[in-house]
């Protein structure tokens, strides 16, 4: 208590403010403990508090030397950082620690450095406000202006460049992407904080060369011909120049980027009628040309769906992988669009690109969006409506799932898990599981589009009231939407798989998501590198933080079964299959892994029975088709050899893609079976060999494949090849079969059929 009373009043008030604000924030799920979110919150609160406290404390004193003022500012910042650190630590003990040392390091590199710099800024403000009228008010305003100015610079960079991340002298680092869960200490943060350290050192060294006159003014100390007296200010100036140089070298160091610096790094550019594609210069010319066509066709299709026209050109930045994308613009696994810049940011993928259409739809919607960001929302678009923003993109460019968005929404309705539409079309969108939010929002916007047309959707997106536009209240709209969902025909297993797909909590409600997902990713890498002991250790670390991490539990058991302890691995997989609390999709994956092990060890009949059982109930078209292929191979020796090499692997050995390709080629050459030809064609298409793939797929199509699921994928792959090759007769043939009386899509739910017909229409429109 004596120490507390000895502290100046501004410092005590600042400590209480920090304790209250960050203590309250710690009760939010992601903010409880030392992690990325509390570091961001501390980086916002601490520098401002330290700056105000220091400015108020020092502006009324003229007996403190400049060097002591700087030291006092740094000391105040460190004191407040200690309060914040202990607060976060206590919350971590309450909720359970995630990554104490990693979190502490991130806290030091963000909040601690920022708080110290805030204190130094407060010392500068104190000198500025020393003789002003209304000194205290001036101190508060100017002290707040420094951290606030840094935030405004980051917002300006976000608006004027492809960046979504931000490095800031005060708050440190903001990743920018809401759905990227892996946020760690990167080399860029170390080099950025080297600049902050240079700034702090330079301020202290320059202050040491100053003195305070009897009138309280600052003046240079007399320069005596001593090395130390001359060296201190020179070193201070050198440190400040170093800080400025590091700031200027931002693009090279990864601290900030521009569209030009990203384009220069990627190196490739293709220009079409309305699209520009910036891509890695390592990409082959034919793939780059196909990317450009993809962009042009998607733009035209999205405009037709929304009844809109995008003025100007659209630019697609395409990155090699998630790491490059994260380094250059901030979002790793999350694809991003900036409608006001008419730009989208995705990773290299196969044709047609799986998410390019969704991001292009955001930009097209920006043609009738409002506000500076050209999005849906209130207050001139400054308060976003994420449900309407994402729902419009989903409705405009749906994915190729077996169930449509409306059917998945119906399954949620049957489960009693369908969220309120009023809440979903607000910031409540972010509180739900992302898959649930996107799916229901897309289903509702599709319903609005089909019932009232694009004009109503455009007006709603542009800031109009959906109630005024439709003449219905939110309650009536919700009732009618639910009534439309109840009319849909649903597969028997829809509710079971919807529960598994949509009941996972959102990232905001998970415990330690950043640490758990990073551990899982590292473990997966070790598994791929055959470092099995290390992989098991990392999976254990993830499970110690989240016992419901089904990914870690399943993959850990598979690693044991395939390498270190087969009996224990099979037992763990068996317990997953029998555990009623395990989501259905993970139970199915565990059962498939056991069946794969049976097939690899010659238990063919048992494996085939499991494959058929799983294929009969799963709603994942790709998974079910793969299961059927495995089951069909059991009684066919050439097929069995090929499928084991391609999809299962021999006992104790991982799958080898080269062996799989060789075995499938031998099978196709020896037997000429349609299933073998289909697999050859599909794999050729996945390697961009569209002309060669088309030949094999046509043979399989002419001779007939053994199941409707395989036939559906055969048509899908043939349409992709035809689209890539500009083969209109082949597109017409696929369309005719798809819509015919004997279509293999006859018994399916319809989601993938709709996707295929949309692709055919898009490609046909592009050819015309």
What was the pLDDT predicted at 652?
78
pLDDT-derived band of residue 496, with 50, 70 and 90 as boundaries?
A: confident
What are the pLDDT digits (tens) for 109-155?
Answer: 999 999 999 999 999 999 888 877 888 999 999 999 999 999 999 99
SS3 category, 718? helix
Q: Per-residue pLDDT averaged across 334-339, rounded?
A: 94
What was the pLDDT predicted at 554?
95
pLDDT-derived band of residue 512, with 50, 70 and 90 as boundaries?
A: confident
What backbone phi and psi angles, to 5 degrees, belong to 462? Answer: -80, 5
SS3 category, 167? strand
Q: At what angle do helices 113-129 and 36-59 cross, to 10 degrees?
A: 20
Q: Tokens representing 364?
A: 């097209």
| pLDDT exceeds cutoff 80 at 767 | no
The CA–CA distances, whole Å, from 747 to 264, 398, 543, 742, 744 equal 50, 20, 40, 10, 7
CA distance 703 to 697: 10
What was the pLDDT predicted at 303?
96
CA 541-545-549 angle, to 5 degrees, is 85
**Pick the residue with more confidence: 510 or 588?**
588
CA distance 15 to 18: 5
With beta carbons less than 8 A apart as the criterion, state whether 403 and 491 touch. Answer: yes
With beta carbons less than 8 A apart as the criterion, state whether 227 and 186 touch. Answer: no
Q: Three-class SS string for 88-148?
A: HHHHHHHHCCCCHHHHHHHHHHHHHHHHHHHHHHHHHHHHHHCCCCCHHHHHHHHHHHHHH
What was the pLDDT predicted at 656?
86
What was the pLDDT predicted at 219?
73
| pLDDT exceeds cutoff 60 at 702 | yes
What was the pLDDT predicted at 82?
96
- DSSP annotation of 220: E
What are the pLDDT digits (tens) for 666-678?
Answer: 999 999 999 999 9
For residue 298, list its beta bridge partners: none
With beta carbons less than 8 A apart as the criterion, state whether 314 and 276 touch. Answer: yes
CA distance 139 to 58: 10
**Pick the residue with more confidence: 496 or 692?**
692
With beta carbons less than 8 A apart as the criterion, state whether 329 and 259 touch. Answer: no
What was the pLDDT predicted at 222?
72
- DSSP annotation of 175: -
What was the pLDDT predicted at 768?
54
What was the pLDDT predicted at 183?
77
With beta carbons less than 8 A apart as the criterion, state whether 345 and 335 touch. Answer: yes
Highest mean pLDDT among 72-76, 486-490, 632-636: 72-76
CA 543-432-23 angle, to 5 degrees, is 70
Please spell the DSSP secondary structure of 593-629, one letter per residue: HHHHHHHHTT-HHHHHHHHHHHHHH---HHHHHHHHH
pLDDT cut 90: percent of the chain above it: 70
| pLDDT exceeds cutoff 90 at 211 | no
pLDDT-derived band of residue 225, with 50, 70 and 90 as boundaries?
A: low
**Pick the residue with more confidence: 381 or 254?**
254
pLDDT cut 70: percent of the chain above it: 98
What was the pLDDT predicted at 508?
63
The CA–CA distances, whole Å, from 279 to 229, 275, 340, 678 equal 54, 13, 21, 31
**Beta-strand pair 343-347/314-319:** parallel
**Beta-strand pair 210-212/172-174:** unpaired
Element (H, E) at 234: helix 227-248
What was the pLDDT predicted at 271?
96
What are the pLDDT digits (tens) for 249-287?
Answer: 999 999 999 999 999 999 999 999 999 999 999 999 999
With beta carbons less than 8 A apart as the criterion, state whether 491 and 503 touch. Answer: no
Q: At what angle do helices 434-452 and 454-461 cross, to 10 degrees?
A: 130
What was the pLDDT predicted at 140?
93
746: left (phi over 0), alpha (psi -120 to 50) or beta: alpha
pLDDT-derived band of residue 765, with 50, 70 and 90 as boundaries?
A: confident
Q: Kindly give the residue spans of alpha helices, DSSP state H, lying in 161-226.
A: 187-208
What are the pLDDT digits (tens) for 536-581?
Answer: 999 999 999 888 899 999 999 999 998 888 899 999 999 999 988 8
Mean pLDDT estimate for the chain: 91
What was the pLDDT predicted at 766?
60
What was the pLDDT predicted at 8?
83
CA distance 106 to 111: 8
Element (H, E) at 174: strand 172-174
What are the pLDDT digits (tens) for 356-378?
Answer: 999 999 999 999 999 999 999 88
| pLDDT exceeds cutoff 90 at 224 | no
Q: Per-residue pLDDT averaged across 701-727, rounded?
A: 94
What was the pLDDT predicted at 223?
64
Highest mean pLDDT among 24-28, 69-73, 179-183: 69-73
What was the pLDDT predicted at 314?
97
Question: What is the four-CA torsion angle of 78, 80, 85, 87, rounded to 10 degrees?
Answer: 160
- DSSP annotation of 353: P
CA distance 680 to 664: 7
What was the pLDDT predicted at 357?
95
pLDDT-derived band of residue 325, with 50, 70 and 90 as boundaries?
A: very high
What are the pLDDT digits (tens) for 391-449?
Answer: 999 999 988 888 889 999 999 999 888 999 999 998 888 877 888 999 999 999 999 99
| pLDDT exceeds cutoff 90 at 17 | yes
């Amino acid at each position: 208590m004596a120490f507390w009373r000895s502290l100046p009043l501004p410092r005590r008030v600042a400590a209480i403010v920090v304790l209250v604000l960050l203590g309250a924030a710690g009760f939010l799920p992601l903010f409880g403990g030392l992690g990325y979110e509390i570091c961001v919150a501390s980086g916002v609160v601490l520098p401002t508090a330290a700056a105000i406290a220091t400015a108020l404390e020092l502006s009324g004193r003229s007996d403190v030397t400049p060097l002591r003022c700087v030291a006092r500012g740094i000391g105040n910042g460190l004191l407040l950082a200690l309060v914040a650190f202990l607060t976060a630590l206590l919350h971590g003990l309450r909720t359970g620690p995630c990554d104490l040392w990693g979190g502490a390091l991130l806290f030091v590199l963000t909040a601690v450095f920022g708080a110290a710099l805030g204190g130094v800024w407060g010392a500068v403000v104190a000198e500025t406000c020393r003789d002003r009228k209304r000194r205290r008010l001036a101190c508060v305003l100017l002290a707040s202006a420094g951290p606030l100015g840094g935030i405004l610079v980051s917002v300006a960079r976000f608006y004027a460049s492809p960046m979504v991340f931000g490095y800031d002298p005060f708050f440190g680092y903001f990743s920018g992407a809401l759905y990227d869960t892996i946020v760690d200490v990167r080399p860029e943060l170390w080099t950025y904080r080297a600049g902050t350290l240079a700034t702090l050192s330079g301020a202290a060294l320059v202050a040491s060369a100053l003195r305070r006159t009897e009138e309280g003014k600052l003046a240079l100390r007399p320069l005596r011909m001593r090395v130390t007296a001359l060296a201190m200010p020179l070193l201070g100036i050198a440190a400040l120049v170093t800080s400025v140089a590091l700031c200027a070298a931002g693009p090279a160091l990864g601290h900030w980027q521009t569209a030009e610096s990203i384009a220069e790094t990627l190196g490739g550019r293709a220009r079409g009628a309305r699209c520009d594609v910036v891509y890695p210069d390592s990409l082959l010319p034919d793939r780059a040309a196909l990317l450009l066509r993809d962009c042009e066709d998607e733009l035209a299709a999205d405009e037709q769906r929304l009844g809109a026209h995008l003025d100007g050109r659209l630019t697609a930045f395409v990155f090699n992988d998630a790491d490059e994308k994260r380094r250059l613009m901030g979002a790793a696994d999350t694809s991003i669009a900036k409608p006001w810049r008419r730009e989208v940011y995705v990773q290299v993928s196969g044709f047609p690109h799986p998410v390019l259409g969704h991001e292009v739809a955001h930009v097209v919607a920006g043609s009738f969006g409002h506000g500076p960001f050209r999005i849906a929302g209130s207050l001139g678009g400054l308060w976003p409506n994420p449900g309407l923003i994402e729902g419009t993109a989903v409705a405009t460019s749906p994915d190729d799932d077996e169930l449509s968005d409306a059917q998945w929404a119906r399954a949620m309705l049957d489960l009693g898990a369908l969220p309120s539409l009023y809440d979903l079309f607000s910031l409540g969108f972010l509180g739900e599981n992302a898959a649930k939010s996107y799916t229901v929002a897309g289903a509702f916007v599709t319903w609005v589009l089909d019932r009232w047309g694009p004009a109503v959707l455009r007006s709603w997106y542009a800031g109009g009231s959906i109630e005024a536009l439709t003449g219905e209240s939110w309650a009536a709209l919700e009732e009618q939407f639910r009534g439309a969902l109840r009319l849909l025909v649903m597969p028997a297993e829809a509710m079971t798989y919807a529960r598994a797909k949509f009941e996972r909590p959102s990232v905001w409600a998970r415990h330690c998501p950043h640490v758990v997902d990073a551990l899982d990713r590292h473990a997966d890498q070790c598994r791929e590198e055959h470092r099995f002991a290390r992989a098991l250790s990392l999976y254990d670390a993830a499970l110690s933080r989240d016992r419901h991490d089904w990914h870690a539990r399943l993959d850990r058991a598979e690693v044991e079964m395939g390498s270190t302890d087969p009996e224990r691995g099979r037992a763990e997989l068996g317990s997953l299959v029998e555990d009623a609390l395990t989501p259905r999709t993970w139970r199915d994956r565990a059962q498939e892994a056991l069946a794969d092990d049976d097939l690899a060890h010659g238990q063919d009949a048992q494996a085939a029975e499991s494959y058929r059982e799983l294929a009969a109930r799963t709603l994942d078209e790709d998974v079910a088709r793969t299961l059927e292929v495995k089951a069909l191979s059991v009684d066919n020796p050439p097929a069995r050899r090929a499928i084991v090499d391609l999809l299962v692997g021999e006992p104790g050995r991982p799958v080898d893609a080269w062996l799989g390709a060789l075995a499938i080629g031998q099978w196709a050459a020896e037997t000429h079976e349609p299933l073998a030809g289909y697999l050859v064609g599909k794999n050729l298409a996945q390697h961009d060999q569209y002309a060669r793939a088309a030949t094999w797929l046509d043979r399989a199509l002419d001779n007939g494949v053994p199941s409707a699921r395989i036939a559906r994928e055969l048509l899908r792959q043939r349409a992709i090849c035809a689209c890539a090759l500009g083969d209109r007769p082949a597109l017409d043939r696929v369309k005719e079969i798809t819509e015919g009386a004997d279509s293999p899509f006859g018994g399916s739910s319809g989601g993938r059929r709709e996707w295929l017909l949309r692709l055919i229409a898009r490609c046909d429109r592009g050819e015309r």
